[in-house]
A and B are shown apart, each in its own frame.
Chain A
Amino acid sequence: MSITLTEKAANYVKEHLARRGKGIGLRVGVKSSGCSGLSYVLEYADEIHSEDIVFESHGVTVVTDPKGLLHLDGSELDLVREGLNVGLKFNNPNVKDSCGCGKSFTV
């Protein structure tokens, strides 16, 4: 069971955490919404709750909750550049179908 980051993604997250000046890591998860049922949550983590599951990847603390783990297990977050945009992208083996925008998906 794990959720990982590529090294590029880890550096990007570390940089953003440093710029923000606080936060212990990255919180990932899912919530029900979007056109394909679920959508990703990608936030700074300021605290760890009792039910949280914590991973460590390339020096970045990755926090998720049980529901998140269920849908994201085995995922790798990568840093992607598309044209002028730079951002993170989930490579999620659990996804059966996703909508065109990539922000929501079905498992």
Chain B
Amino acid sequence: MALLQIAEPGQTPAPHTRRIAIGIDLGTTNSLVASVINGVPECLPDEAGEVILPSAVHVGEDGRITVGREAKARAASDPEHTFLSIKRLMGRGMDDVRRMQPRPPYRFVEGEDAVPRMETPRGPLSAVEVSAEILKALKARAETRLGDELTGAVITVPAYFDDAQRQATRDAARLAGLHVLRLLNEPTAAALAYGLDRRAEGLIAVYDLGGGTFDISILRLRKGVFEVLATGGDTQLGGDDFDQAIAVWLMERAGLDVAAGQWLEAGEARQLTRTACAIKEDLTGKDKTCAKLTLRGETVWQGCLTCEEFNTLVDPLIERTLAACERALRDANLTCADIQEVVMVGGATRTPRVRERVSAFFGREVLTDIDPDKVVALGAALQADVLAGNKPADEMLLLDVIPLSLGIETMGGLVEHIIPRNTTLPVARAQEFTTFKDGQTAMTLHVVQGERDTVEHCRSLARFTLRGIPPMVAGKARVRVTFQVDADGLLTVSAREKTSGVSAEVQVKPSYGLTEEEIERMLRDSFEHAADDIAARRLREARVEGRRSLEAINAAIATDGDLLTEIDHPIIDGARELLARAIEGEDPEAIVEAIGQLESAALPFVERRMNRAVRAALAGHSLGEIADQYNTQ
């Protein structure tokens, strides 16, 4: 029996009102919205009966915004103001956009901040704003179809999305007026749609090759609960690349210079891609397809592509996905034989060659029963239904993991990892740090993400400063740094100095994104450079230690310089210089040795300081008083 809660006057909720919640698959190429209707998840169609909404947004000369098919149709005639694959720009910075290949055909406004904005007749628009238009269209569709206001939505994101990209997705939803119940990893949603949660247990691989992104997730199901053991993938690989491969092949056949692809105007490039896409789709279930390519009203190529030729074109791309599968399995400490079920997601998995290669890789038949385009949205709808409170919350509890380790920069440009990769969410971890210098009153915290030991090889997420630390000797302050990642994978870092209680915190906001394949490269590098990292770490640690010794001796000389004798003064000076030179050098051993030399050189001086300190403490007290003091302690 449900218990009653006291409501505000006039707001007692009516019983049995079903809270309407939707699941949204906000894809690179296509987006869908689904909801649980009478206990069954269904994709909601638009007025024309289409469930797939192309993730295309067009801004007309009059500033009118169109979304979907109509917008996509403008791509060839008005490429600059037709935004396709906008998801690739989510959470990205201008620097990343400049490096993108192929470069998006939009005119970017050089903005005052790192967020890239595209010029449109409506004024500059960011990727978040464009995405919000897609979400608005889906929201309107859901409201019309369901005839009621929405409680909230679950929006899926690639498992590889970092914090900035997740935050950008969340911002887009907020702009669209959607209450985000949760961001859900796409592969996890797919497993839910297949009802794999109803099994007792098992290990599941979700292979998601969408239009623009590839994700592989290794899930473990235990007592009806999913745990993501490992995620991997490639944020820049998808069915679009298959089209691209065919497009390049077409250009070669048509005698066009592939390397000088830039001579094609944006509209022509789209025409080429469209022909390539048509060829690919036509080849599904056929041995051979024939087509012609028309550019500037001229037929520049006419011919056929066989299935075999096509396979040769896409095999390198499929191999990249399989390499990622292998890495994910390794992360989870598993082999292919451990996987009991392989779920296929994304339109590109319709390609027979993909199914064939993935089946061969895992050594089993792959699951393809549910429409690979819809499966993610359907799973999201199921999860939304639970989160909206229509089902007991314990029915489905998902655990997600952090794709890349989170840490903080410490002295010498080293990274202290606070939350390791693949930790399940939500999570909070804390670690204590201290000040480096005497009287240090502020501390800058640099939050980074990545696997390497050195800051420059990790990705910077945020920087903030903790001020107001009371002046203390180095190492005395106790700064507790807490990393908190909520169930959506959003990160909050807070720092608190314990003796004074001063605190500061930062939420990771989208400022700039990862560069192409950066996450992958970062992961690969962390394995390849493990040995370098150890050496680099030793050197940096030695340098930090050396500088600390220099600081300490300088501080001691500043206060008790009168205790230096004519004999040890030059010896200490010599040792200081030697250490300073060693720190400049590259040899950690030399630094450690120089530290030792400085310590022994300073030993007599340090002893004299100790004696003075003891005398100062005892001066003016009788022996009895001191004895009392000891007794009371």
Please report A residues at the B interface, Cβ cutoff 8 Å: 13, 16, 26-27, 31, 33-35, 39-46, 80, 82, 85-90, 99-104
Contacts and interface: CB of A to CB of B under 8 A. Distances in A.
Contact of B4 (A89, A99, A100): A89
A86 to B, nearest CB: 7
B8 A44 contact: yes
Contacts of A104: 15-16
Nearest to A42: B4
27 contacts: A13-B6, A16-B6, A31-B12, A34-B14, A35-B15, A39-B12, A40-B4, A40-B12, A42-B4, A42-B6, A42-B7, A42-B12, A43-B8, A43-B9, A43-B12, A44-B8, A80-B3, A86-B3, A87-B4, A87-B5, A88-B3, A89-B1, A101-B1, A102-B1, A103-B2, A103-B4, A104-B15
Contacts, number: 69
A31 B15 CA distance: 10
Interface of B: 1-12, 14-16
Main secondary structure of the interface of A (DSSP, over half): strand
Contact of A88 (B6, B14, B15): B6
Given A41-B7, A42-B7, A43-B10, 18 more contacts: A35-B16, A40-B4, A40-B12, A41-B12, A42-B5, A43-B6, A43-B7, A43-B8, A43-B9, A43-B11, A44-B7, A44-B9, A80-B3, A82-B1, A82-B3, A87-B3, A89-B3, A104-B16
A79 B2 CA distance: 12
A39 B129 CA distance: 44
A26 B4 contact: no
Nearest to A29: B12
Nearest to B17: A33
A39 B7 CA distance: 14
Contact of B15 (A34, A44, A45, A46): A34
Contacts of A27: 9
B2 A102 contact: yes
Given A82-B3, A103-B2, A103-B4, A33 B15 contact: yes
Nearest to B9: A43
A47 to B, nearest CB: 8
A82 to B, nearest CB: 6
A34 B4 contact: no
Contacts of A101: 1-2, 15-16
B8 to A, nearest CB: 6
A42 to B, nearest CB: 5
Nearest to A41: B12
Contacts of A43: 6-12
B12 to A, nearest CB: 5
A96 to B, nearest CB: 16
A26 B5 CA distance: 11
Q: Which 8 A-B pairs have the closest CB atoms?
A: A87-B3, A102-B1, A103-B15, A34-B15, A41-B12, A42-B4, A88-B4, A104-B15
